[in-house]
Structure 1
Amino acid sequence: MSVEMELRSARVRYGPLEALHGIDLPVPAATLTVLLGRNGSGRTTVLRALAGTVPLSAGRVLWRGADVTRLHAHQRARRGLCFVPDRRALYATLTVAENLELAAQGPDVATALDVYPELRPLLPRRAGTLSGGEQRMLALSRAVLAPARVVLVDEPALGMSPAVAARTYRHLGALDAAVVVAEQRPPAGLPPGTLVHELRRGSLRFSGELAEFTSRTWGGEEGPASSRA
């Protein structure tokens, strides 16, 4: 399993507070990776560190072995990184159709409408008038339409119905990209082979496969700080 991106000894500070405490985290190619943790655990900061929207105070970000620590977010995007944050992930004053065309870099938005047919009758609506779940579908369309080598999504299913959330995860798991998502707990519908990293207070407490994490959790095991690094 080849590594597409990785954090090495990564530390991130927000003022006097350190959000990541020197973590090592590989992102395998063509694999779905889930970052789990409560609010404040550091999962969103990991995504931002990979995307380049927050700087590291120490450590490195590697992309296929090349050091990209100093590359800005737009430079990483040009290299094939798609980041969908949990908020402000769309253009509220533009219509749904215009948002999709920007993501597709052209008028061919059929792929997104195949994944999210709920958006079809909303095409003339301004994005800011949509419900929370509808806005999330529109934001996730960026990951559907933009060809990317790395896809980072913070809470993909936020505001979605269970059926749409399961469809979203099926699609994310089928992408030919290194996909990393952040969630508070394991969502339903994760494909076999999904990798899980559990963060607590800016440190990794578990790294392994989903089945191992599930058996460990339901078995009541606390385990070491990282059972598989």
Structure 2
Amino acid sequence: MTTGTLISLRRARVRYGPLEALHGVTLAAPGPGLTVLLGRNGSGRTTALRALAGLVPLSEGSVVWDGSEVTRVPAYERARRGLRLVPERQAVFGSLTVRENLELAAPEESSALEAFPELRPLLSRRAGTLSGGEQRMLALARALSARPRVMLADEPAQGMSPAVAARTYALLGSLDACVVVAEQRLPPVPRDRAVLVYELRRGRVVFGGEAHELAHRTARNGGAADG
């Protein structure tokens, strides 16, 4: 049982050349539990995920995991320690079959398909021929088969039907792991457990709290959250 897992950004700044994508962002994702990074394109939510994963360097600030600073720990070492990232694009090997994709992730793991039985009849298909939603299922199944301690996913339910998206979020919310997802809008998060939400806008955190608090604020403002 995972206890006390926590990954966080502390006053994190990330630059892409002359442009700064994160302006001193501080956020913390506990686990087991689900944390949502909410924001429109360009808000910094994807950059925050990539910073947690070690795929982009910080120009200032730090990444802390379970009380230890891992800012300079490379991405492959974070993966060895149990961190998995499901990016928005190129999350599967398109030239390989569904079965080969799963075998690469966990050669002896057969439970990956339990979460997404829709993939069973597609095992012999090349991943590049799948629909967008099917590729998301495959990418998530690959990550889940590794039994991650920290799972980061960028728009995990993109392209899925509403029913499958709801099932996906119920699954993510039930994992014995620290799960952080990036979404443009608040997804169908489980209502029977606390879900932490950080809303980002132009590289800054403008809201941090539980999902129901954001829903109340949105209702009070008479419209959708401004991400």
TM tier, shorter chain? over 0.9
Paired position in structure 2 for 1:226:
none
Q: Please say if residues 5 and 62 of structure 1, whose CA atoms lie closer than 8 Å, have aligned partners that are also in contact.
A: yes
Paired position in structure 1 for 2:218:
217
Equivalent in 21, 29, 40 of residue 27 of structure 1: 29
For 1:87 and 1:2, the matched residues in 2 are separated by 31
Shift of 1:2: 4.0
Equivalent in 40, 57, 74 of residue 55 of structure 1: 57
Matched, 1:139 2:139: yes
Shift of 1:221: 8.1
Moved over 4 A (4+): none
For 2:109 and 2:146, the matched residues in 1 are separated by 11
Normalising by the residue count of structure 2, what TM-score does the alignment of the two structures yield? 0.93
Residues 55-204 of structure 1 aligned to structure 2 (within 5 Å): 55-104=57-106, 106-109=107-110, 111-191=111-191, 192-204=193-205
Shift of 1:189: 3.9
**One-letter amino acid matched to 2:178:** A
3-state SS in 2 of match to 1:219: helix
Compared with structure 1, are the counterparts of its residues 221 and 19 closer, same or farther at alpha carbon in structure 2 (3 Å cutoff)?
farther
CA-to-aligned-CA distance 1:188-223 (integer Å, 9 cap, x gap): 24343000000000000000001111001111189x
Normalising by the residue count of structure 1, what TM-score does the alignment of the two structures yield? 0.92
Q: Please say if residues 169 and 189 of structure 2, whose CA atoms lie closer than 8 Å, have aligned partners that are also in contact.
A: yes
Compared with structure 1, are the counterparts of its residues 202 and 221 closer, same or farther at alpha carbon in structure 2 (3 Å cutoff)?
farther
Q: Cα RMSD (Å) of the superposition?
A: 1.5
What is the percentage of aligned positions where both structures have the same residue?
A: 64
**One-letter amino acid matched to 1:25:** L
For 2:222 and 2:143, the matched residues in 1 are separated by 36
Compared with structure 1, are the counterparts of its residues 221 and 72 closer, same or farther at alpha carbon in structure 2 (3 Å cutoff)?
farther
**Structure 1 spans left out of the alignment, 5+ residues:** 223-229
CA-to-aligned-CA distance 1:168-187 (integer Å, 9 cap, x gap): 10110011000000000111
Q: Please say if residues 103 and 141 of structure 1, whose CA atoms lie closer than 8 Å, have aligned partners that are also in contact.
A: no
Q: Please say if residues 189 and 195 of structure 2, whose CA atoms lie closer than 8 Å, have aligned partners that are also in contact.
A: no
Shift of 1:3: 5.4
Moved more, 139-148 or 49-58: 139-148
Q: Please say if residues 33 and 179 of structure 2, whose CA atoms lie closer than 8 Å, have aligned partners that are also in contact.
A: yes
Q: Please say if residues 35 and 197 of structure 2, whose CA atoms lie closer than 8 Å, have aligned partners that are also in contact.
A: yes
